[in-house]
Structure 1
Amino acid sequence: MTSENQPGSKKDCPDCESSLYLPRRDFIRVVGSAAVASALAPAAKLWGADEKPAADKTPESIVKHLYDSLNEKQRKDVCFDWDYQDPKRGLLRTRISNNWHITSPVIKSDYFTSDQQQMIRDIFEGMIQPEWHAKFDKQLQDDAGGFGNSQNIAIFGKPGEGKYEFVMTGRHMTLRCDGNTADHVAFGGPIFYGHAANGFNESADHKGNVFWEQALAANEVYKMLDGKQRKLAEVADTPREQESGMQGPEGKFPGIPVADMSSDQKELVQKTLLKLIEPYRQTDRDEVLSCLKAQGGIDKCSLAFYVLNDLGGDKVWDNWRLEGPNFVWYFRGEPHVHVWVNIADNHKVELNA
């Protein structure tokens, strides 16, 4: 679990300075050697004609091809049974944190062949909308020295034979690719994204932050609220960022219920939702909307804007949350952007944070 951050603390992101998998000294050694190897190695070549998967080049087909290409040692290091329980971290497949390393091998290192590195990159690009590739690459460059220089992967289950999942982790990133074999959940499970565009403590305008446009969309909803509605929407204390578990239909959701908004306000909430899911491939977007429908739609959600830690005191809310029985999208923009996403069609799906 990440450190127990306290609301309002300026040490709200100690995870960004340490690894949850490797001791810090070993992590620096691994990342450093990977960076050197990356600089000296030629660019990863494209797959040979005889190596391309027979199916369309979807992330799922590439995951299977990657799995088939792994040697015995690689499978021992990065492949696990579907329900593998890590002695210290619990069910590893559903683990989520704002900076962690699911396994120790670094993508851009001599541990993986150039073809395997290319496959991993192709899986990554397949999960992200093309117009967002450059934005994610900027985030990775700013936060982790670029794609592959400190990220790690794991594969759970056996691709092509029942349930399986590919997971990529690193600072400000947890992404999943499951081919819809993980029951009930969107994105294959909880995901995380973040960005510290201008150092650990960002300014109120979050200049250069690739995800800040999502917060601006939510703030447009706030601007449409009248005085009484704003009092409902404004919540005094910002919760710990790890508090992103689903509460179910009996939960207490902070902020203003979407059901109590006018039709034009609801329409803007819908636009905000579309902005949130915009970076991801269409199948994942569809899965989010399907899960949302299963809980009764966006009318079952509430929208909260957190007063504590409003950078600049400008009421352009850095910290906000859209939440329903089976839906949590928690945008925490102070001291820099961290976003926790946990969506399912069944609130009993547990968050391993």
Structure 2
Amino acid sequence: MNTLHPSLTRRDMISRGAQAVAAGFLAPAFAETKAATSETLVQQLYGSMDEAQRKTLCFAWSDPRRLKVDNNWHITPQKIKDVLKADQQELVREIFDKLHSDEYKAEVWRQFDQDNKSSGGFGSASIALFGEPGTSQFEFVLTGRHCTRRCDGDSEKGVAFGGPIFYGHAAQGFNEKPDHPGNAYWYQAKRANEVFQALDGKQRDLALLGESRDEDGNDTVKLTGKTKGLEGIPLTELSADQKDLVKKVIADLLKPFRQSEREESMKYIEAGGFDNLHMAFFKNQDVGKDGVWDVWQIEGPNMVWFFRGDPHVH
């Protein structure tokens, strides 16, 4: 989980530097010939809503819920299955689907369906719309267990994904085994541990810390804007080969998301200075005490991505 938001984002989150530049809205005549995007589908969903649905699901751009993030929450108390018609629910599924890469969306769906099975599946998620789709200022947000996703057509300037995002997975129950069997996102931690294994003793002393930050909604991924004094080892202390490994970690973090999100995220990361990033690992939350670090983060002036794999992946 996750890239960047001007003042937030989570480990699986991303903070400020990256924001999706989604193709804006198309006039109805062109919508038939152009491929649909999440943004055009949000406009279609909005247009299909009756007055009661809009009163329940549509809010002002300034509503603070628009930029909230958490590991298990509902942005509105009404679930998709209870407030939307069947065809509208299918639109929401397609909006969510198109926010993810063709390469990885099957795994995203597997995670979402598995984590939300006991509460009623996809229909148990909730959505909200802020502003008015079709204008220069709107945002769609979907939430559920281990899921906060947004699309905004780049309404929130200078921010990735429209704001902080969240992903996670409890693949084998609440307390996962050390190797996190079946977890959709554990591959990211395996790649991050390749970085740690490539560090020498002095570098490991800088990178390996005791306790991680608390997981507390938006504050977890609040940006400091700092280039120095962040937790962990600054990338200025890494060799070219080691930096290439960090770039592979970032590529893996962005892998589940659509191309426009990945490109925009990298734009903001690079604008903040790749060498200004810091990477930290936390030894006190080592599941199985096997020296494979389950909790780690990458942070810089324009991003925070916090990965907590204890007791399962957040």
User: Secondary structure in 2 aligned to 1:202?
Assistant: coil
TM-score w.r.t. length of structure 1: 0.77
Structure 2 residue matching 1:289: 3-state secondary structure: helix
Alignment match of 2:240 (pick from 263, 267, 279): 263
- Take 1:148 and 1:141, find their aligned partners in 2: how far apart are those partners? 7
| In structure 2, distance between residues paired with 1:208 and 1:289 | 28
Q: Distance between the aligned counterparts of 2:304 and 2:228, measured in 1?
A: 12
The structural deviation recorded for 1:139 is 1.1
Shift of 1:229: 0.7
Distance 1:156 1:233, change over 3 A: same
Residue 111 of structure 2 is aligned to residue 139 of structure 1: yes
Deviation string 1:51-81 (CA, Å, 9 cap, x unpaired) is 9944530111000000000000000000011
Task: Give the one of 299, 308, 319 matched to 2:295.
Answer: 319
Deviates more, 1:197-206 or 1:136-145: 136-145
Corresponding residue for residue 335 of structure 1? 311
Higher relative contact order, structure no. (Cα contacts within 8 Å, ≥ 6 residues apart): 2
| Pairs within 5 Å for 1:122-133 | 122-133=94-105
Q: Distance in 2 between matches of 1:116 and 1:202?
A: 36
1:106: which partner in 2? 79
**Match in the other structure for 1:187:** 161
Q: CA deviation at 1:131?
A: 2.5
Give SS of 1:204's match: coil
| Aligned partner letter, 1:246 | L
Aligned to 1:277: 254
Q: Does 1:77 align with 2:77?
A: no
Question: In structure 2, the residue corresponding to 1:322 is in which secondary structure?
Answer: strand
Q: Which runs of 5+ in 2 are unaligned?
A: 1-27
Aligned residue type for 2:148: T
The answer to whether the 8 A contact 1:142-1:197 is kept is yes
Shift of 1:147: 4.5
The 8 Å contact of residues 53 and 62 in structure 1, kept in 2 or not, is answered as: no
Structure 1 residue 63 and structure 2 residue 42: aligned?
yes
1:252 Cα offset (Å): 2.6
Largest Rg, 1 or 2: 1
Does residue 115 of the first structure (1) align with residue 65 of the second (2)?
no
- Aligned residues: CA RMSD: 1.6
1:73 counterpart letter in structure 2: A
Q: Confirm or deny: 8 A CA contact 2:113 2:122 kept in the other structure.
A: no
> Among residues 143, 148, 155, which one is paired with 1:169 in the alignment?
143
Q: Does 1:246 align with 2:246?
A: no
| Aligned: 1:291 with 2:268 | yes
Give 1:312 deviation, angstroms.
1.1
How far apart are 1:149 and its partner, in Å?
3.0
- Matched-pair contact (CA < 8 Å) for 2:298–2:305: yes
Any conservation in 1 of the 2:230–2:278 contact (CA below 8 Å)?
A: yes
* Percent pairwise identity: 47
Per-residue deviation, residues 231-272 of structure 1 (Å, max 9, x unmatched): 111001122023221111266311111121000000010011
Secondary structure class of the residue paired with 2:176: coil
Shift of 1:199: 0.7
SS for the counterpart of 1:308 is helix
SS of the residue aligned with 2:130? strand
Distance 1:136 1:293 in 2: 27
Secondary structure (helix, strand or coil) at the match of 2:257 reads coil
Letter of the structure 2 residue corresponding to residue 327 of structure 1: M
